[in-house]
Structure 1
Amino acid sequence: MTLRDVLRMLRRRWYVVVLILALTGAATVGLARDGGIHHSRTIVMFTMPGAGTVTPYNGSDSWSVITFAQTIATQASGGRAIGRYYSHADAPLYGAGLREAVVVAVRSDGSQWSSRIESAVIEVQIVGRTEQWVRERQDDLVTKIIGITASEQAAAGVPEGDRIDAHVEPLTTAIEYVSPSRTAGLAAILAMAIAGVLTAGAAAWALDRRRPPTRRVVHAPTEDIEAGSRTS
């Protein structure tokens, strides 16, 4: 198929090309408007009774405190199993491509192949389309973690002075807006444009192939027919 044949085919099926390019443009505009997300990563640290988060030997690295933090995280997340990616210290939730999600897990300092929990720290990661949605869930989950921490120890009969403390790091309650860079946005638009052109061309070609072949009927000249009749 030559370039001239391709151009003729696209001209015959122009409505398919226009339709697919219009749909691609609408999808690109929708993605551009919905490009950014709001994200928060709140830290709740557990320590021995009366110890602060910056106090040396505060017990946050004790296995008993870490186990207690894991129990609280499991209850706060509704008993759902959390993937290792989401609980990794250097793995933001929006990096997984999620647009609206909530994860409560004890932070792991290991790799994707092995888990290494060195401190009793619960991370509450939230991503959402609006700041209000993220703020409401952040407040609810932090309140839930503090409440479960107190109720679990009260149910076990632990005196108030001997209970494990839960500390919310104030600087980690901030909500950030994450959006792609200008270069990434232009690259995404270019990729969508190329995909739209290729899809339109393929659809037009596939539809054009379904057209029944045209038959050419060759008519003999009238003079030849008359001459044949006289000869016979």
Structure 2
Amino acid sequence: MINSFKEKLFYKFTKKYWKLINQKHGILNNFIVQKGLFKDLKLNKEQYWNSGDLGAKIYGFYEKDIQEIIYKLVKKYKIKQFINIGSADGFFPIGFLRLKLFKNAICFEQNKIGQKSIIQNAITNKVLDKIKVYGEISSTNFKNELVSKLQKSPSLILCDIEGYEYKLFSLKNLELIKNEFLIIEIHPTSKSNQMKFEKNIHRYFNTREIFINSNNFKDLPELHNINDIDRSLLTSEGRSFIGKWLILEPKLIKQN
């Protein structure tokens, strides 16, 4: 916890340096992912959501566990449609469309700059014909905006909406998507909110939770000769809390 003026000052400069070093490595690699599932994915030079994520994305660390879980689920259940709630710059949908893992992707992003960033990146990576971009999804328009876009076979829904998940995925809305696969990033909330949320999802889904693993630099010689501080900043996602995700699989899985 940052309390003193000195700590706040150093934290402010650290964040600036964090973004600076990530931008530097973005330039060094022409903003192209070098490692991991999304290797050769081209990133926008101007990131709408967070330029501090560039290093983690370029070197294959960015939410790597989630990338791998999605890949395995899609292969196992032959899932055809990807829905991303809180799409930011479109890293996941565009990355997976390049791999031809899904037939199509639907993005929900409330910020208009973010929407433009997704479209721009989809054009760059030649997947614009397979992606649709929409605005904000809320607990009130959930049925009309999301449920109406579901298919006969299950979709995979990836959600990162900075704490709004507790309101969006009410028991009523969960019932509407009980046949879909969900991966939800969990943000800090009150104990009562958390308990209610977990009770609701367990009604329709088999669940497991994962925490983002630490980075392994063994196969990245590019990072072997820089100091520990720069290396850590370069692959940090800049989280204010540990990354926790819930993986939800429907209790009654429809077969394709």
Q: Would you say same fold, with TM above 0.5?
A: no
TM-score (norm 2): 0.25
Q: Give the structure with the higher percent helix.
A: 1
Larger of the two Rg values belongs to structure: 1
Larger RCO (alpha carbons 8 Å, 6+ apart): 1
When normalised by structure 1's length, the TM-score is: 0.27
